[in-house]
Structure 1
Amino acid sequence: MLTLSGVSRKYGDVTALDGLDFTVPDDRYVSLLGASGSGKTTLLRVIAGFEEPDTGTVSFDRTRLDGVPPHLRDIGFVFQNFALFPHLSVRDNVAFGLRHRAKAAVRDPKEVIERAEAALDLVGLKGFGHRGVGAISGGQRQRVALARTLVTEPRIVLLDEPLGALDANLRARMCDELRAIRERLKVSFLHVTGSEAEALTMGDTVAILSGGRIVQDAPATRLFANPDNAAAARHLNAWNILAGQGTGAGFATGAATFALPPHLMPRGAGSLGVRFDQISIARPDAVPEGHLSFPARYLTGEFNGPTALAFFRTNDGQLVQVVDHLGQPRLPEMTEGATYALHFHPDQIRIFEGAA
């Protein structure tokens, strides 16, 4: 089990990691989701040993790793740009770590070839060993980078946005293959991404990095349905967040004041969260009884194949999104510039305590 305790890393006045606590269990696929500049790559580099934390500890199975050189940590790293050697064949790229690692380097040429070919077979590249890396596709180069990491049998594999350079169809296929490979090997993968869809698809557990800290980690289905805080909800790109303040009249936001049930009313500042797919739309005079609502002006729609997004602007200028699943459409025809009532049942909201 990989454990980070109180890890901080600064670059001048910029804090990339801020007293971060994080655990990657054994035999688990963990997705790490964060926005650009959130410190995702810094976190991977600290785990791998390419950088040292300013404070805090990194350990594996209770053995301290901070201060240990990268090549002695027994951690695999798949770089975003693959970092393959262009002058070497596919097989020699994979075999490089076996021949040159600091501990237990493999000297027997026959064993090197056998293990390199076995790693290529594992990632679906049997028969590609003789090719040059410039003569294969981007998706195949990604698999070579993965094979080069796996051939050394690391205790954990770090993947830095490994699907970012692939086209959409290949990304979907590689998602399935990465999960299948991990399950066969029974080692943990820590997969860093800025895509909420990719994180939720890949991870048995999804951790969200925001403000230099892990703001929540949970199974993907639980995280999506019940984020613990507004920061986690925002990163999922599926929740509208309305910041406000509990008052005697209700929960006051810039969009509207909501008469919340007493058990939902936050103590002071807080946020109301409602998912894109749980908002319905009606004329201002046709809100169903018992529903909460707020007025918003319809801006435009966006067709995405099986779904469509509708964009609205609240009275205080906040952008609100509503999703419609076209297999079971539920939204009415709307006129751009017209004002509608966006409504939802109180059971469908999440209230987050504290300032947004």
Structure 2
Amino acid sequence: MKNEQQQLFALIEEKVHRLPYYVGQYVEYKEAGDRAKPNTLLSYLYDYERFFSFLTEEGYYQGELRDVPLTVLETLKREDIDKYLLFLKKYSNIKKRTSRNRMLSSLKSLFHYLSQIEEDDDGFPLLKRNIMAKIEIKGTKPSPQAQADALKGRVFTSRQEIQDFLDFVALGYAKTIKDSHEREPVKKRLLHYYSLNMERDLAILSLILGSGLRIYETVSLDVSDIDWKERAVRVVRKGKEDKTLVHFSESALAQLESYLAIRDDRYHITRKQEPALFVSLPTGPNKQVGRLTKRAAQEMIGKYTKWYGRSLSAHNLRHSFATVHWAENQDVFGLQSQLGHSNPQTTQRYALIFNDTLREMIDKMDKNDDEPPSD
């Protein structure tokens, strides 16, 4: 985890040195106030590098990216931003509108900082004219119904479906591998890592499916974050600074207990050496154990769901918890709090998934009623 963070900050520093000084000031502002996560900042910097490359390639400024003055930004017009969007679509091969909208959003954030927050030595805004304030981002968020439709077939919709999947991981995965047409070396490798990580993997899957945690929230947990009395974990939710108590299911509790019973011996580590709740097997020349990375956890989830026949992502498992929770409780505000949504409209999509599923079940029942009874 530390090496991953160090690489991330090194990339951020590398990008900052290639860009104008005021972009560096923006990054420092974001970092100082914990206003953006490192991954987000790096994504912004890739966007800024593309934007300033556009300015130099299209002749708005003759020189290096890092030397583009603020006056160039101040003289931009709406048609120049339209030209930039066309540049992204045609020459950068960024076809998705959502991707281009995200890039516009990162630019709006930079321009807002330069025109509304940062000041020069005389107390005036660094950027005197903000063209991005006039740019509207259209179609950035689909309706709750569209979001619900996008999730159909990509979530578990009942507690039984969730249990069937967890049973597969615990009892059926090994047999499926053995009976598969994979080559023997592949089978041996899959079964070897399964035997070593099964308790950990089940704990992660059960926790997400039993709480709705995001994947980065899950892998960021320390052992000390578990509140056994409340059957909950303390997590830093998106957009929050303080830790929030998030409750989890009894099934997740049982799997966490099973995993922690073997964690130290299996992974050859003590909690004092590595506080992370979920750890990886010893890797590298020094055989070091560290926090399980987000990518490794995502790949693990993809592996099990693929062999199960559903190919679901970590976020699909979070959506599955939300869908089932709504089906059983139908409490938008309770679910909103559990998931850490800032807007209740985001939570409404799960109600639409369930209601649509319910309508399909009723339609099926009606069709069956029209058929003659069978003996």
The question of a shared fold, defined as TM-score above 0.5 by the shorter chain, is answered with no
With the length of structure 2 as denominator, give the TM-score of the two structures: 0.24
The structure with the largest strand share of the pair is 1
Question: By percentage of residues, which structure has more helix?
Answer: 2
